[in-house]
Amino acid sequence: MNIYSLNPEITEEAVPVQLGRKERHRLLRKADIIAAAEHVFALKGYHKATIQDIARQAQYATGTVYLYFEDKNSLYFSIIEEKIRELLRILIAKIAQVKGARLKLGTFIYESLRFFEMNKDFFRIFIQEESSLSIKSKLAKSPVASKRREMFNALIKEAQSEGLVRRDIETTQIKELLESILVSFAFNWWKEPSGQEKDLKGMTAIILDLFLNGAKKR
Reported as a single tens digit per residue, the pLDDT across 4-30 is 333 434 444 444 556 677 788 888 899
Mean pLDDT, rounded, of the chain: 83
Give the closest residue to 111 by CA, choosing from 135, 87, 131, 132. Answer: 87
Phi, psi of 97 (to 5 degrees): -90, -5
Task: Give the confidence band of 118 by pLDDT, cuts at 50, 70, 90.
Answer: confident
Whole-angstrom CA distances from 135 to 4, 92, 140, 142, 177 are 28, 24, 9, 10, 20
The residue out of 68, 86, 115 marking a domain boundary is 68
- Within-domain flag for 101: yes
- Within-domain flag for 218: no
For residues 64 and 78, membership in a common domain is answered with: no
152-156, 183-187, 208-212: which has the minimum mean pLDDT? 183-187
Q: Among residues of the chain, what percentage have pLDDT more than 90?
A: 48
pLDDT in tens, 59-102: 999 999 999 999 998 898 888 888 889 999 999 999 999 999 99
For residues 188 and 136, membership in a common domain is answered with: yes
Instruction: For residue 61, give its domain range.
Output: 3-68
Please tell me the predicted confidence (pLDDT) of residue 137.
Answer: 77
The residue out of 12, 33, 68 marking a domain boundary is 68
Distance CA 24, CA 79 (A): 20
For residues 163 and 63, membership in a common domain is answered with: no
> Mean of the pLDDT values across residues 112-132?
75
Asked if 30 and 68 touch (Cβ cutoff 8 Å), the reply is: yes
Angle at 58 between CA 119 and CA 195, to 5 degrees: 30
Q: How many residues does the chain have?
A: 218
Task: Give the confidence band of 193 by pLDDT, cuts at 50, 70, 90.
Answer: low
What is the domain count for the chain? 2
Q: Which amino acid is at 125?
A: I
> Mean of the pLDDT values across residues 169-184?
91
Q: 65-68: long-range contacts (C-beta < 8 A, 24 or more apart)?
A: 65/33, 68/29, 68/30, 68/33
For residues 43 and 82, membership in a common domain is answered with: no
Task: Give the confidence band of 207 by pLDDT, cuts at 50, 70, 90.
Answer: very high
CA dihedral sign, ordered 62, 64, 65, 66: positive
